[in-house]
Structure 1
């Protein structure tokens, strides 16, 4: 029995899935409204921005890095998209591409500083987080952009699946996770990400260009932050310069809860999706119970500590 439990525990994402099941079971007894298709659709809509950002964060953490700039880069990208349309009258799709280009440029900058100057990812992304925040506030004048075209709010629209209302952004979220899961599992470049995270020197000796892998990982992560910016605009209907200020921590929380090791080389991106949903479930369930938001933050912090402690113990056993 103990051996079987240990085997299940070593399956990537198994712990996160078990935690999600237990959380859903608990909240289903606390509120009659929790176990409904409409409520779960609402949870997915609430986590779709952080969920997409967490894909990029997962790629970086798999290489034993971390990205503190993701929330501010997302906010800057959303401001670029909306202001380019509002102030310069650019085509909405061109404006979106400009926003994506900016977020990817920040990813490239992060990757180059990590690989060329050999700065720690924590320090690099802490610096670019402040840079992105300052540019966002200066360029927007700290003012929300309200003139947003319908092309930028498309993913906030909904459709009916039976009696449940789903957002197009939710479908995009699930599609991105499915694609990234396939990419990491079934392609050579995806396996290179794991190899670099496990041992950069060993990966280099096998012929993998580790610096190139790290740079494109940060660039692709920037692309996901840009997509998250589109979803943020779609969900709120505005370009908000104050957006994303805690999303960096929320994305890291999702990754850690999903079972990806902060030491790199181990984890499954679908676990990150479960981790993001876990956070959404706890916040939604506690809200339905009438628990104050400050206690929701407390519970999230406890979950993160437990997840990291579990990872540490798993590494020591290994």
Structure 2
């Protein structure tokens, strides 16, 4: 296991400066500080940002892209990228929506999950078995699935009326803040994947493959198997995102979430996961997704044009990549 991968597994590091120093040096410290700063700024400069209804809205708006970003994180940790994750989710959603209008909603969910697994498996096989570049493979799959969703539905949307398919938009109210089951599912997925990455042998192998694929192979790690498992695991996460999307907006729309792939990458990068692989994690991605939503929501509350919101988000992404590049350059000296 390399030093870079070990740095990502914080609980296995030796404590050289106390808990506070360890936290400050962790992957999530920067994103968490940025999130807190944004909340404080918007809370002070606007009168509605900290309202319970608005905080509920922020959490709900983060769910779909935030869940997609969890799967994207797994792939980026292996030094890959998935430009097709949004298209996979949309195809699964329209398959579920169309089947649910004609039959059993539970069966529709199962089929939608299988669709995600097939497409994730296809990406995984092409990338792991045939060593094709992830960018090119997923870009091609993105184009195919975008067209496939429209062809399957004749470019029509399907309203969702099943309680099972919309249940994730329901949930309890805690302290005046409505927390949907979709948000709770997002938190649960983050916890499960975080545990898998930091506390299991599979997670150690994922970091090792992302940090140095050749070195990982020399240590006996079956790189192809690890890559395939990552794309299949990410596909399952995309299926959950499709279910959340149907609850968030109870319509299966083949043209929906057209920028979800880029939005998920943005959340991953802002959350501190390295685009070069081997460093980062899903907790940072969770925070990154919240940062993107808080930024958009806060600027809207402040009456700032949406174009400036895009500018601010873009600047954050560039800064995050620049910091990652700087850190990696110092580590290799």
Instruction: Report if TM-score (shorter chain) is over 0.5.
Output: yes
> Counterpart in 2 of 1:66?
81
- C-alpha distance in 2 between matches for 1:295 and 1:225: 30
| Post-superposition offset of 1:90 | 2.6
- C-alpha distance in 1 between matches for 2:46 and 2:160: 39
- C-alpha distance in 2 between matches for 1:178 and 1:287: 31
Q: What is the RMSD computed on CA atoms of the aligned residues?
A: 1.6
TM-score (norm 2): 0.91
> Counterpart in 2 of 1:277?
290
> Counterpart in 2 of 1:18?
33
| Post-superposition offset of 1:6 | 8.7
> Counterpart in 2 of 1:50?
65
Structure 1 residues 91 and 292: alpha-carbon distance in aligned structure 2, compared to 1, 3 A threshold: same
Does residue 161 of structure 2 align to residue 144 of structure 1?
Answer: no
Segments of 5+ residues of structure 2 without an aligned counterpart are 1-16
> Counterpart in 2 of 1:191?
204
Do 2:55 and 2:177's aligned partners in 1 also have CA atoms closer than 8 Å? no
Aligned equivalent of 2:96, options 81, 102, 124? 81
Aligned equivalent of 2:173, options 155, 160, 164? 160
Aligned with 1:153: secondary structure? helix
Does residue 98 of structure 2 align to residue 113 of structure 1?
Answer: no
Aligned equivalent of 1:310, options 304, 310, 323? 323
User: What is the aligned residue count?
Assistant: 314
- C-alpha distance in 2 between matches for 1:85 and 1:42: 27
Does residue 116 of structure 2 align to residue 103 of structure 1?
Answer: yes
Aligned equivalent of 1:245, options 230, 255, 258? 258
- C-alpha distance in 2 between matches for 1:205 and 1:84: 47
- C-alpha distance in 1 between matches for 2:265 and 2:72: 7
- C-alpha distance in 2 between matches for 1:16 and 1:178: 18
Do 1:82 and 1:148's aligned partners in 2 also have CA atoms closer than 8 Å? no
TM-score (norm 1): 0.95
> Residue deviations 1:123-149, cap 9 Å, x none?
000000011101101001111101431
> Residue deviations 1:112-169, cap 9 Å, x none?
1111221100000000001110110100111110143111000011322132222111
Segments of 5+ residues of structure 1 without an aligned counterpart are none
> Counterpart in 2 of 1:203?
216
